Structure 1
Amino acid sequence: MTNAGSAELLLGGIVLVGASVQWLTGMGFALIAVPALVLVIGPAQGVVLANCAAGAISIAGLATGWRRVRIGAMAPLVIAAACTVPAGSWVAARLPEPVLLAGVGILVTVAVAIVMGGVRISALTGTRGAVAAGAVGGFMNSAAGVGGPPYSLYAVNAGWTVREFVPNAQFYGIMVNVFSVAANGAPRLSGTAWGAALAGMVAGALIGRVFASRIPEQWIRRLILALALTGGLTALVKGLQGMG
């Protein structure tokens, strides 16, 4: 197999794992896939591919749960994200690749650490908290492809149940990724790379749906965090090496 063929196979595998996780939990594609994608196809293309894939998976996932979306609660998050996405895109476009790679690693690692610590932030409540979470999430999503953790922290502090969290996470994922793709553009991939990514999304969706009711949520959560932390640290190390 050629190097290009190996890279495309790896790309499809990364998307498959990320898609499986997102179908199982409503979020998590970016935390799983972004650190690996930026290592395989570079920070710029890895981020925009993650934006496209996460948005597409969220659209499919919301098809059956859209009635549970809390539009009133989500509006401040989405509006704030729309305002900060261009800033994240502007910053990412001007950073050297090793710096951007290290930045992605830092953001993923910090986000995982915060989620693992079960942090509760009293400021992330009410409309003001929604605006803050949306603003940070929009910037992070367009700059590094990882916009979910601020939303997660907001939902935790709001006391949302899993039933409330998942459809609203999917709605937020659609909106923030649409904004990010509009700001960053579509990924520039070969036809076979696109085919591998699409195949990974379809296979990941099927796997996620099959195992959604069979795997304890706590096991899934631990796996997501372990993989995301490993990927974030790997991207950080490679970025620092590139700057050396």
Structure 2
Amino acid sequence: MPDLLLGGIVLLGACVQWLTGMGFALVAVPALVLLLGPTQGVVLANCAAGAISVVGLAVGWRRVRLKAMVPLCVAAVCTVPAGTWVARWLPEPVLMVCMGALVTLAVVLVMRGTRVAVLRGGAGAVTAGAVGGFMNSAAGVGGPPMSLYAVNAEWPVREFVPSAQFYGVVVNAVSVASNGAPRLSTPVWSLAIGAMAAGALIGRQLAGRVPEQRARLLVLLLALAGGVSTLGKGLWGL
């Protein structure tokens, strides 16, 4: 049953990622953390999100804002080790409280489309990348700072999605190198890979039928519920 539940979580995350261009980590990380624990849940999410970003980038790489990606990615790479260190040394209940709080805060900020002066220009790119790298390796959710930077920079969706995928490839690869690969059996790995493929197919089929705004709202509501649940479990453990 836990293995099937894991497969369902990965399938749902992959589906919403292909459906909306975002959301795998926000949807999947809280559930994976509850199922596998903070460390294994985060590194599995890093692996899956990175793989999905690679596939998506193969289609839209020409629209990546490479100039803007340099400070974002360099800053993120520099802070990934700090996130790994924090995740290894914090007690599990405290780490779950931090993860739940980060996910919940990130979702609220993205839903509000918050405009932040510090996230503009070159300094904004460095700030967003640094915070995103830390959050990605510590909590598995490095996308929201990148999303907030794009909102403040007024990027069009057609350029944001491939740029976010490029960022996802780099940051998740470095996070996996820093955290290590998840310790899963071969059957569970096979199930996760199959779930990613199935989720991608379902997401592509639904992409033209579900309004983008409604799909994004659903993703954020699922992520908010997961973040609050993780926060609650961590507080209970304390």
TM over 0.5: yes
Q: TM-score of the superposition, structure 2-length normalised?
A: 0.99
What's the counterpart of residue 7 of structure 1?
A: 2
Please give the per-residue CA displacement for 1:15-42, whole angstroms capped at 9, x wherever unaligned. Answer: 0000011112222100000000000111
Match of 1:77 among 72, 76, 90: 72
After TM superposition, the structure 1 = structure 2 runs for residues 59-70 of structure 1, keeping only pairs within 5 Å, are 59-70=54-65
Q: Is the 8 A contact 2:100 2:227 kept in 1?
A: yes
Q: Distance in 1 between matches of 2:146 and 2:198?
A: 27
After TM superposition, the structure 1 = structure 2 runs for residues 158-197 of structure 1, keeping only pairs within 5 Å, are 158-197=153-192
After TM superposition, the structure 1 = structure 2 runs for residues 101-112 of structure 1, keeping only pairs within 5 Å, are 101-112=96-107
The alignment covers a number of residue pairs equal to 238
Misfit runs of 4+, over 6 Å: none
After TM superposition, the structure 1 = structure 2 runs for residues 1-244 of structure 1, keeping only pairs within 5 Å, are 6-243=1-238
Q: Distance in 2 between matches of 1:212 and 1:169?
A: 18
Letter of the 2:98 counterpart:
G
Choose 127-136 or 195-204, whichever is displaced more.
Answer: 195-204
Q: Distance in 2 between matches of 1:83 and 1:153?
A: 20
Q: Structure 2: any 5+ residue segments left out of the alignment?
A: none
Shift of 1:118: 1.6
Q: Is the 8 A contact 2:23 2:220 kept in 1?
A: no
CA RMSD of aligned residues (A): 0.7
Residue identity (%): 70
Letter of the 1:84 counterpart:
T
Q: Distance in 1 between matches of 2:192 and 2:91?
A: 26
Q: Distance in 1 between matches of 2:36 and 2:194?
A: 17
Please give the per-residue CA displacement for 1:36-95, whole angstroms capped at 9, x wherever unaligned. Answer: 000011110000000000000000011111111111111000000000000000000101
Q: TM-score of the superposition, structure 1-length normalised?
A: 0.96
Q: Is the 8 A contact 1:82 1:138 kept in 2?
A: yes
